[in-house]
Chain A
């Protein structure tokens, strides 16, 4: 029989207001196994934990039940307290009488009654608890960063600077990401390339960083400290060791009609290409869908002109398998497709563009060489309308329910840059709210209005109406004047919502990292663990976790890096002891459990058993405790009832059921 101590927390008035804690203490004393019960103002405080230690000693406790907040909050705290008092930490159970009781019920009788039942269930469970001991696993001292945008680059640089090896896997031919497509950055208006390119070069040159560009993560297995990852290096058809990056092949390539991804489809590129001039690595790839050689077998011009002999049409995809201790997801974002917003005439008019397309139009290396012009006729615009929140803050299935966060600032930036460079161009911004929290952000927006004369109109646009004369009639609300405005514009720029990169769901599935309904990766804790995934060993960097601008991305990248470094600095990790195990006498080696195990943690061994005096060799399931994550799928699948889960055993759960139904 256990000797159980029950500790009921008031949590100030959070619990005590709707649960009569004294009554709980009084009632629970008579439960089997309970030898001590007390209440205290704040059990999680140092004094509260001290009370546990004293009680363990005084009453020779073997098990502890804390009736308090959610175990997701303080289970670890109380386990550590128990451990300090000399108990096995897994002899502690929490009865959640705050989130699951006091906070949702108003009536004190009802709350007290429920708290007692929850406490009873926890006592019933502890009666069956056994000490558990975590195992150890090793840590591979190398990190993987998935995604080579500013988030991935910064994370990799910070990890590498701390002395650990780190690989970046980037699916496009160059690192740089969306930031490389931007012209200027807010709120200081530095040129994006000027601040990004040096970082790209640093990453490429760093002796601890290895770049896998034009590569994708194919398969992930293992667990924190010991991941095994297959990386597919897609065939570039260009030998990176031989290529000098002279660019002659791109110049001579006769297939030049493929929309350039880098220029957001506003210009064309050749079939053999580097996405942009500062690409890293400066090694082109052949787009086989566009290449005449691949489509017809004729051409081969690039091979002929390549003095270095780097073109190799026979190259094949290659799979590289690497080991990592930690993985950082930095897959970034893209703008949403605007097919659900045809009232803004994006698909009907070339002069309606997204803000990211405007970045390319404004950029000297872009399709118009930095001249602001209408894409339909090349004419200089005189009247430009910006529309905010296109696809953001939409709860109607057409767009995204969240605020994309960066649009207010980049629109102010665009408006300001245009008014600065082309003072004769009028700029109107239709906005719902201007959201510019951040250092020097609101000042920046106000400068656009006060110094640059940008006309901000509070109200959304209903429709953009292309006119026969080529102009665009913008029909919008002016809510402050209570008017419907019709404004003739030459160009319309849509602040298009951003969404996580399309591949993130696939990657999250491989990593068993959780993801929310908007495809943003979920943090382990929204406030206190914002750069970690709930899956151990997986970290988050940049927009894959939620919309953010460059300064925030860089900060988060650094935070993710230090978390990775903290992990890699350890030689050994403790593993979760709540794992499955098979009862050797009951197991018949049928393989059902191995079939349902998502981690491949179960294998079979021929073992000598002594079944009530009968000695024989049987095929028996063996669980690898380092691989088992403790989901329990096998325990239910097992036809003979041999499989059970430590910490959540059949008997423990049944005891809880019985206690609740009593």
Chain B
């Protein structure tokens, strides 16, 4: 099995998403508030996994732009849940050595007076292993 095939299977497993349920209506992309920041769009998450095009997916900046706001999950008419797919792709990156998207030394300059703990905690979980 190729690495990409393995990874595609891993993404399916972690996310619990069946990409074949997708009917390609594009409602996820129509709904996504971070759409314009993404290079690979929410509806493409599904086809990238279905086509085992994982290398491109895990290198996509979309991994770090998804807000996990669940709008795509809520509105998907086929219960495909693209947001879970991109999260699983992110997990694959984070679970590798050196996959962190946030370096400790970056943090001090990102802080300000009002910044709530919740933000740091969430960002840690999103960006770091």
Contacts and interface: CB of A to CB of B under 8 A. Distances in A.
A and B touch in the complex (CB under 8 A): yes
A476 B27 CA distance: 7
Nearest to B38: A484
B31 interface: yes
Given A462-B30, A475-B30, A389 B75 contact: no
A343 B70 CA distance: 14
Nearest to A475: B30
> What class of interface size applies to chain A in its complex with B?
20 to 34
Interface string A333-360: 0000000000100000000000000000
Interface in A451-497: 458-463, 475-477, 479, 482, 484
B35 A484 contact: yes
Contacts of A463: 30-31, 75
A165 B10 CA distance: 67
Contact of B77 (A394, A476, A477, A482): A394
Nearest to B30: A462
Interface of A: 343, 389, 393-396, 398-399, 432, 458-463, 475-477, 479, 482, 484
Interface string B80-91: 000000000000
B27 A460 contact: yes
A501 to B, nearest CB: 24
A393 B77 contact: yes
B77 A395 contact: yes
A432 B22 CA distance: 12
18 contacts: A389-B25, A393-B77, A393-B78, A394-B77, A395-B79, A432-B24, A432-B26, A459-B26, A459-B30, A460-B26, A461-B27, A462-B31, A475-B30, A477-B25, A482-B41, A484-B29, A484-B30, A484-B36
B81 to A, nearest CB: 10
Contacts, number: 68
A396 B76 CA distance: 8
A396 B78 contact: yes
A460 B43 CA distance: 11
A398 B77 CA distance: 8
B31 A475 contact: yes
B21 interface: yes
B37 to A, nearest CB: 11
Contacts of B20: none
A386 to B, nearest CB: 15
A113 B59 CA distance: 55
A270 B98 CA distance: 74
A399 B77 contact: yes
Q: Lowest 7 CB-CB distances: which A-B pairs, in order? A: A462-B31, A462-B30, A477-B26, A460-B27, A459-B26, A477-B30, A394-B77
Given A396-B78, A462-B29, A475-B30, 16 more contacts: A394-B78, A395-B21, A396-B76, A399-B77, A432-B25, A432-B26, A459-B29, A459-B30, A460-B26, A460-B27, A460-B77, A462-B32, A463-B31, A479-B24, A479-B29, A484-B36
Contacts of B58: none
Contacts of A399: 77
B26 A479 contact: yes
Contacts of A398: 77
A407 to B, nearest CB: 14
A432 B41 CA distance: 17
A280 to B, nearest CB: 40
Contact of A462 (B21, B71, B78): B71
Contacts of A484: 29-30, 32, 35-36, 41
Nearest to B41: A482
Contacts of A343: 31, 75
> What class of interface size applies to chain B in its complex with A?
20 to 34
Nearest to B74: A343
Contacts of A476: 26, 30
B102 interface: no
B27 A462 contact: yes
B23 interface: yes
A432 B23 contact: yes
Contacts of B76: 396
A393 B24 CA distance: 11
Contact of B30 (A389, A393, A460, A482): A460
Contacts of A396: 76-79
B31 A479 contact: no
A433 B43 CA distance: 16
A458 B77 CA distance: 16
Given A343-B75, A393-B77, A477 B43 contact: yes
A459 B25 CA distance: 5
Contacts of A393: 23, 25, 77-78
A659 B77 CA distance: 49
Q: Which one of B28, B77, B79 has the greatest number of beta carbons of chain A within 10 Å?
A: B77
A461 B30 contact: yes
B9 to A, nearest CB: 23
Given A394-B77, A396-B79, A398-B77, A460 B25 contact: yes
Contacts of B31: 343, 462-463, 475
Contacts of A477: 25-27, 29-30, 43
Nearest to A480: B26
Q: Which one of B23, B24, B25, B29 has the greatest number of beta carbons of chain A within 10 Å?
A: B25
Interface string B43-63: 100000000000000000000
Contacts of B43: 477, 479
A389 to B, nearest CB: 7
B109 to A, nearest CB: 32
Contacts of B78: 393-396
Contacts of A458: 26
B90 to A, nearest CB: 21
A482 B35 CA distance: 10
Contacts of A461: 27, 30
A558 B9 CA distance: 52
A482 B32 CA distance: 13
Contacts of B27: 460-462, 477
Contacts of A389: 25, 77
A294 to B, nearest CB: 44
B22 to A, nearest CB: 11
A482 B71 CA distance: 19
A166 to B, nearest CB: 41
A396 B74 CA distance: 10
Contacts of B24: 432, 479
B98 to A, nearest CB: 31
Contacts of A459: 25-26, 29-30
Contacts of B35: 484
